[in-house]
Amino acid sequence: MSRYFGTDGVRGRAGEGKLSDERLAELGAALAKFVGAGGSVAIGRDTRLSGPNIFGILADQLQRGGVDVHDLGVLPTPGTALLTSKLGAQLGAMITASHNPWHDNGVKLFGPDGRKLPDAAQDRIESLIGQVTEAADTPGTRHTVNDAASTYADHVVAAVGEGALSGLTVVADAANGAARIVLPEVLERLGATVPAIGTGDDGRHINDGVGSNNPETLAKLVVEIGAEVGVAVDGDADRIVLVDRQGVIADGDQIMARLATQMQSQDMLKGGAVVATVMSNLGLERHVEALGLSFERTKVGDRHVAKRMAELGANLGGEASGHIMLTDHATTGDGTLSAALILAGMKASGHNSVDYLRAFVPVPQMLVNVRYAGTSPLENADVTDAIAAEQAALKGQGRILVRASGTEPLIRIMVEGDDAELVSDVADKLKAAVSAAAEAG
């Protein structure tokens, strides 16, 4: 297991472990060595209380190593990726813990093209951590990029077109996070009327009862005020879920299904494929294949999706959790862009949100998390035996996926199949087996 990097950069409790001041300083020094004196790094962050401190530590070490720092301020992750490329920086860093609670934080890294760093680059950075470093002869400078948010907003609006959402009432939920200003602004510039929630910035309420992981408040409000649709992003705004006018939630799978249909009808889909992960619903796979397209699955993590998309020349992919990759317009998952494009398609089609956002009937699926301390329960033989037994019980009519989270001490269990009762029974048995192993240590 990597000392620092998980499935999406560094993540943990702010001030502790990998995110203690000492270890962040080591990471900052390693990044300075990786970039080299005379280079530059663009750094954005979400609204977490710990963000400014982490920024300060990383920036100090980078400058000490002769690296210039572009301070992007509070900005969505896709905005940081975009500005990294536009500013000609050798590296981009986003200080965020995405959908995690406020007390967590982390660092996501991007290359000069705005794409997530490949494994080889992360390995190189890790090899530099802890090495003795000396200050550069000429320290790097620090520059505040005052127009970072407006540059990102302009990019999204240009990709969709002014007035594309004219006449729609869209409730925006910015998760009290990085898109607290830019998400409502973009939707309004596109012509929508935008009641907004989740626009706080006190640093302690990011993702707290709001955002894409907690869309119930949004769903209730959409129905109460008679809005056509609701949009919720997560803390760093690289994920999205939508809510139709009846309060029904459309996850990343439904969004990908509709975008696949929409883009294919406009002859805009490339690569003959849609790329998703092992977590995506079997119903999405069937929908995509019914369109005459190939359905490709990868390991969990949008960086794996992006890599496979590049190999296939595909321009649509994502995760059920709401990371949507639209590589004609963005180098990473982009909640604001995804919302704008799919709502523009809905508006142009003349359909209401209920008809448009329910693109396929999901196969019954259960997701269960089991928290553990110490040794991973997946190393327990009883768990391995239980997985094999329950897969046999599905008789080829479903899927089981049991994996460790890359960002938290959780075992994630997914079971799906056409028989809802059987799916529930299998999930319960696997949860019991994993929980017993976790308690045993």
Please tell me whether residues 219 and 109 are part of one structural domain.
no
Please tell me whether residues 210 and 296 are part of one structural domain.
yes
Active site residues: 98
Q: What is the CATH number of the domain that holds 226?
A: 3.40.120.10
Please tell me whether residues 313 and 204 are part of one structural domain.
yes
The model's pLDDT over 268-311, given as tens digits with 9 standing for 90+, comes to 999 999 999 999 999 999 999 999 999 999 998 888 999 999 99
CA 326 – CA 34 distance, rounded (Å):
29
Domain assignment present for residue 293? The answer is yes
Please tell me whether residues 163 and 276 are part of one structural domain.
yes
CA 354 – CA 246 distance, rounded (Å):
7
Please tell me whether residues 127 and 103 are part of one structural domain.
yes
* pLDDT(341) > 60: yes
* pLDDT(1) > 50: no
Domain count, the chain: 3
Domain assignment present for residue 282? The answer is yes
The pLDDT confidence band at residue 8, using thresholds 50, 70 and 90, is: confident
Work out the percent of the chain whose per-residue pLDDT is above 90. 91
On average, the pLDDT of the chain sits at 95
The model's pLDDT over 372-431, given as tens digits with 9 standing for 90+, comes to 988 889 989 999 999 999 999 998 888 999 999 877 789 999 999 999 999 999 999 999
Residue type, 324: I
Please tell me whether residues 29 and 141 are part of one structural domain.
yes
Please tell me whether residues 245 and 347 are part of one structural domain.
yes
* pLDDT(365) > 80: yes
Provide the whole-model pTM. 0.90
CA 385 – CA 398 distance, rounded (Å):
18
Domain assignment present for residue 375? The answer is yes
Please tell me whether residues 106 and 217 are part of one structural domain.
no
Domain assignment present for residue 283? The answer is yes
Of 293, 325, 357, the position where a domain reaches its end is 357
Please tell me whether residues 194 and 138 are part of one structural domain.
no
The model's pLDDT over 131-153, given as tens digits with 9 standing for 90+, comes to 878 899 999 999 999 999 999 99
CA angle centred on 9, ends 203 and 174, rounded to 5°: 35
CA 319 – CA 323 distance, rounded (Å):
5
**Domain that residue 410 falls in:** 365-440
DSSP strand pairing (68-74 vs 40-45)? parallel
Contact 384, 398 (CB under 8 A): no
Of 357, 381, 408, the position where a domain reaches its end is 357
Domain assignment present for residue 392? The answer is yes
204-233 average pLDDT score: 97
The pLDDT confidence band at residue 7, using thresholds 50, 70 and 90, is: confident
Q: What is the CATH number of the domain that holds 397?
A: 3.30.310.50
Domain assignment present for residue 429? The answer is yes
Note the pLDDT of residue 375: 85
* pLDDT(2) > 70: no
Domain assignment present for residue 2? The answer is no
The model's pLDDT over 36-65, given as tens digits with 9 standing for 90+, comes to 999 999 999 999 999 999 999 999 999 999
Of 94, 121, 146, the position where a domain reaches its end is 146
CA 353 – CA 262 distance, rounded (Å):
14
* pLDDT(3) > 70: no
Domain assignment present for residue 3? The answer is no
| Per-residue CA distances from 251 to 59, 188, 240, 319, 437 (Å) | 37, 23, 8, 9, 31
Note the pLDDT of residue 118: 87
Please tell me whether residues 91 and 197 are part of one structural domain.
no
Please tell me whether residues 179 and 271 are part of one structural domain.
yes
CA 222 – CA 208 distance, rounded (Å):
19
Please tell me whether residues 135 and 169 are part of one structural domain.
no
